[in-house]
Structure 1
């Protein structure tokens, strides 16, 4: 049987099932990323002659497929954030993408070098690829679509963090690449890394993203009002905007991840109540889910075809320490003085979901430079992502439901106290 026909049939069936699976398991302890990860494990355990999924041998396809998935997810993430940008509104996510991310990179890099015996460049790369949270797999702990009025601090903070830190981690991936190249050539690299990779590329990403976001918002929302310019309500405009923004920014040697998220945020800040934001968000979310299904099944297949072959007990313990100790602790340190409740701070700290973005960064770095510990890094990263998908997948819905119930209970208590102070009973107020 032609393997190509088998592949497109499996992808079609998996994508079709996404129309019902999320709703079917909504009340269960499972998340649909776990379901499709298991499907990948099962189908690659069968004699179907499917394409070999292990990214160790196909780093080019791993780069481009994960790259596409992440930029589409970044557009969807930016379009659904409704909170205006300011230090007061964005304090928690900005602390997470600065303090938490830098601490995570530093601690993982040190432990990778000191405990695992990795070369310095490989140790820094491990920290850099694991530092960003994932916008693709974190739907259960993110804010809803643009027409959803509910936006609590936990969901907003995790959504904004996932949008920002995918681009914020890129300079440190380039730091690892520069260290690896410098170690082999003996040439200096620090000044160029600071000026080019840390400063120029970030500035270009923000500038191009903001400029294109404003331009697209003007064309979509304002230009048709005062001129004969045709109005559009096609959701695919969001996907087109994603590809154009990413492509132009990369051509200008900026960070395309940063640009896509900034462009989405900028577009969503115009005509905030307009239903077209929901139309664009829903379209790119559907594309995101199809890509996610493919990647999760490939990841599941890689788990049974060699991805974890180079995992050591030390690497596994480091991965568990990162998920259970390093991420929660560094996040809580960053936000412990903020206004939200302790249980909300614990939830924000715990749900540092890792996923597709880490695979992109790792494959990208291996295409740019030679790292002696490449196989071991793939195994450690694969293990961390696997555990994260299962761990956060089985806990997310229950924790978020608990937080929602706690907030509703607190609001009811406040209304009772307020009604009592005005001489009304709570029952009278409800009537």
Structure 2
């Protein structure tokens, strides 16, 4: 596809989304579902303007999906304001580890026994399809840093954590594919390097960086009296890059480090401002940062704000706005490319695997492993259904293609993975808004405040 054609296609798509946004928000469909349909329309199933072969594009597509996931993980991290020991986090921890492990096992069993896929490839499919997606799950995640709804908070924490906690099992599956059933001497090395070292070091390193940089930046903004004159979007880019590179350099997982950096940055804001209200709710980004008047950056009376609230509010608002813009742009681009590629790899067997994952494996895992003291039955049902697969899975697919996946397994792996992701985007895309609206109406009629339990 030529550069001119590429610009034309995405220009038309973005214009359509901009012009129809006021209509789309009233329809039971997400932007991702629209982009998938648009991609299919310009691909071999439609106008045949774009033909994307994942095998040929695996290297640049791996980097593109990686960047999209990194921005989304960071953005998710800075929205989660509660301390890590609070009750709100318990369901996120359970979803990110026990439920994910149960999902890997369930998908592996389903792929092997229902579709006759070899055990090694079944395990790889389970690992790649187990994490929920932080990019496409925006509608079901927290709306802001003061949203403590138990469903949204749990799904946000899960999406932030399990894109990193799934990585060791993708590596395990690839090692199993290469070594076979006759040699398991590598398991001890995998356990030490990828689980006992890679996961905790990534989390601790990222959290420490985010916390330290957050305190430093707020201090410098106050000291130099430039809270409203210096832009902060470069700070988001720098922190994402440094957290990722530092973790990878130490043999830890960059995804976890970047998510934890967002969490650490948010906790720096909490400790500095000493306020129950997120600072970006009382201060706002200054458009273009051309006006250094502090009153231009407040949504309340300027004299009622502390210096730390003003500095932290503008900083957090800048980074949230910048991260959200990049995240949405990457979502549109990547899902459109997926729609264009799906015609070459559509596999009808994915309907069986997808329905098993969405309707049996995920809901059953949530039902059995999440305590009723954390989530009510209706909330368990919602969390069980809202296990959206997307760009994180595409990254793991490209990673597997670039790291030793046998040629005789490539077609099956790509076809089943892309087809299940496309099914997830369609099924979840048309059900998210109606189900969320029904849930929110039920919560309004409930006399008990859901945030009160989470603040414990």
Q: Structures share a fold, TM > 0.5?
A: yes
Among 142, 149, 152, which residue is 2:149 paired with? Answer: 152
Give the equivalent residue in structure 1 for 2:393.
358
- Taking a change above 3 Å as real, the CA distance of residues 248 and 17 of structure 1, as seen in their structure-2 partners, is farther
CA distance in 2, matches of 1:13, 1:289: 16
Q: Judge conservation of contact 2:199–2:256 (CA < 8 Å) in 1.
A: yes
Give the equivalent residue in structure 2 for 1:212.
209
- Pair 1:389-2:388 in alignment: no
Give the equivalent residue in structure 2 for 1:307.
345
1:187 Cα shift? 7.2
- Taking a change above 3 Å as real, the CA distance of residues 152 and 47 of structure 1, as seen in their structure-2 partners, is closer
- Pair 1:274-2:279 in alignment: yes
- Pair 1:125-2:124 in alignment: yes
CA distance in 1, matches of 2:449, 2:10: 49
Q: Judge conservation of contact 1:238–1:280 (CA < 8 Å) in 2.
A: yes
TM-score, length-normalised on structure 2? 0.83
Query: How is 1:101-120 mapped onto 2 (pairs within 5 angstroms)?
Result: 101-120=100-119
Q: Judge conservation of contact 1:113–1:119 (CA < 8 Å) in 2.
A: yes
Aligned Cα RMSD in Å? Answer: 2.4
Give the equivalent residue in structure 2 for 1:346.
381
Give the equivalent residue in structure 2 for 1:260.
258
1:196 Cα shift? 0.7
Q: Judge conservation of contact 2:73–2:259 (CA < 8 Å) in 1.
A: yes
Among 352, 377, 382, which residue is 1:317 paired with? Answer: 352
Among 174, 178, 190, which residue is 2:175 paired with? Answer: 178
CA distance in 1, matches of 2:422, 2:449: 41
Among 225, 233, 236, which residue is 1:235 paired with? Answer: 233
Q: Deviations along 1:275-330, whole A, 9 cap, x unmatched?
A: 231221111110111111110110010112x121xx253x4312211111111111
1:334 Cα shift? 1.5
Give the equivalent residue in structure 2 for 1:408.
444
Give the equivalent residue in structure 1 for 2:405.
370
Q: Which shows bigger deviation, 242-251 or 171-180?
A: 242-251
Q: Which shows bigger deviation, 63-72 or 210-219?
A: 210-219
1:35 Cα shift? 0.8
Give the equivalent residue in structure 2 for 1:78.
77
1:106 Cα shift? 1.1
1:377 Cα shift? 1.6
Q: Deviations along 1:98-139, whole A, 9 cap, x unmatched?
A: 211111111212232333333332111111001000011111
TM-score, length-normalised on structure 1? 0.88
1:20 Cα shift? 5.3
- Taking a change above 3 Å as real, the CA distance of residues 245 and 412 of structure 1, as seen in their structure-2 partners, is closer
Q: Judge conservation of contact 1:3–1:49 (CA < 8 Å) in 2.
A: no
Q: Which shows bigger deviation, 108-117 or 340-349?
A: 108-117
Among 361, 368, 390, which residue is 1:326 paired with? Answer: 361
Q: Which shows bigger deviation, 28-37 or 246-255?
A: 246-255
Count of paired positions: 406
Q: Judge conservation of contact 1:145–1:278 (CA < 8 Å) in 2.
A: no
